[in-house]
Amino acid sequence: MSLERILAAIRDVPDFPKPGILFKDITPALEDAEVFRLINDLFAERYAGKGIEKVVGIDARGFILGAALADRLGAGFVPIRKKGKLPSDSFEASYELEYGEATIEVHKDAIAPGQRVVLVDDLLATGGTAAAALDLLERLNADVVETAFLIELTFLAGREKLGERPIFAPIQY
Ligand code: AMP
């Protein structure tokens, strides 16, 4: 089954980037041509025919999965970047990290009001990043059809931070 093949290609790295964190490393899944295709199939099958006009990817692993999905759907790709990287007029949103704060940005003209979009990242942990990204998309008046993650760490309850907004997360720990 394809989900099992994808699962088998995700590597656990203990204590990265700091003690106590079990990092879910997707690079082995990306490096394997068949597994990478299975991941892209999974997302493309879910959103094909849904009228998606833009796929929005979160810096940085959301760019990999999001750009592949955009190409499959014939949609445009929009990056949400860490602060200071986008060259043109941007909206920004800040969120709490375990220590301190992070800020992400999106270009103000990246999405027309009412455009149908999917937001993509590799993994849902505490939900802070995705919640901030959804705030940015609300400011652009995007119609967010769903937020897609390859992986959800359910024990961190990140889903609760996203309220009623729909989530697709085929792999859950
Ligand atoms: P969060 O804002 O807590 O939901 O964190 C989500 C972001 O941090 C995603 O972009 C993930 O790539 C990354 N991340 C958080 N925890 C992990 C983990 N245990 N393994 C891999 N990536 C993680």
Predicted confidence (pLDDT) per residue in 115-137, tens digit:
999 999 999 999 999 999 999 99
Show the CA angle centred on residue 60, arms to residues 22 and 39, nearest 5°.
Answer: 75
Place of tokens 């009412």: 114
Place of tokens 């964190």: 21
* Averaged pLDDT score across all residues of the chain: 97
- Percentage of the chain with pLDDT > 70? 100
**How far is residue 141's CA from residue 110's CA, in Å, rounded to a whole number?**
11
Task: Report the pLDDT averaged over residues 102-123.
Answer: 98
Between residues 100 and 35, the one the model is more confident about: 35
pLDDT at 41: 98
Q: Is the pLDDT of residue 43 over 90?
A: yes
From the CB of 161, is ligand 1 less than 6 Å away? no
How sure is the predictor about 109, in pLDDT bands with cuts at 50, 70 and 90? very high
Report which residue type is found at 105. E
By mean pLDDT, which of 54-68, 87-101, 143-157 is the weakest?
87-101
**With contact defined as beta carbons under 8 Å apart, do 167 and 146 qualify?**
yes
Has 98 been annotated as catalytic? yes
Q: Is the pLDDT of residue 68 over 90?
A: yes
Q: Is the pLDDT of residue 97 over 90?
A: no
- Top mutation candidate among 98, 124, 129, 173 for ligand 1, by most atoms within 8 Å of CB: 129
Has 34 been annotated as catalytic? no
**How far is residue 74's CA from residue 151's CA, in Å, rounded to a whole number?**
24
pLDDT at 93: 98
**With contact defined as beta carbons under 8 Å apart, do 52 and 19 qualify?**
no
Place of tokens 């590799």: 122
Read off the tokens for 132: 């901030």
Q: Is the pLDDT of residue 5 over 80?
A: yes
From the CB of 127, is ligand 1 less than 6 Å away? yes
* Shortest-distance atom of ligand 1 to CA 22: 19
Q: Is the pLDDT of residue 98 over 90?
A: no
Read off the tokens for 59: 């810096």
Q: Is the pLDDT of residue 91 over 90?
A: yes
Place of tokens 């899944």: 29
pLDDT at 45: 98
From the CB of 168, is ligand 1 less than 6 Å away? no
Q: Is the pLDDT of residue 99 over 90?
A: no
Q: Is the pLDDT of residue 164 over 80?
A: yes
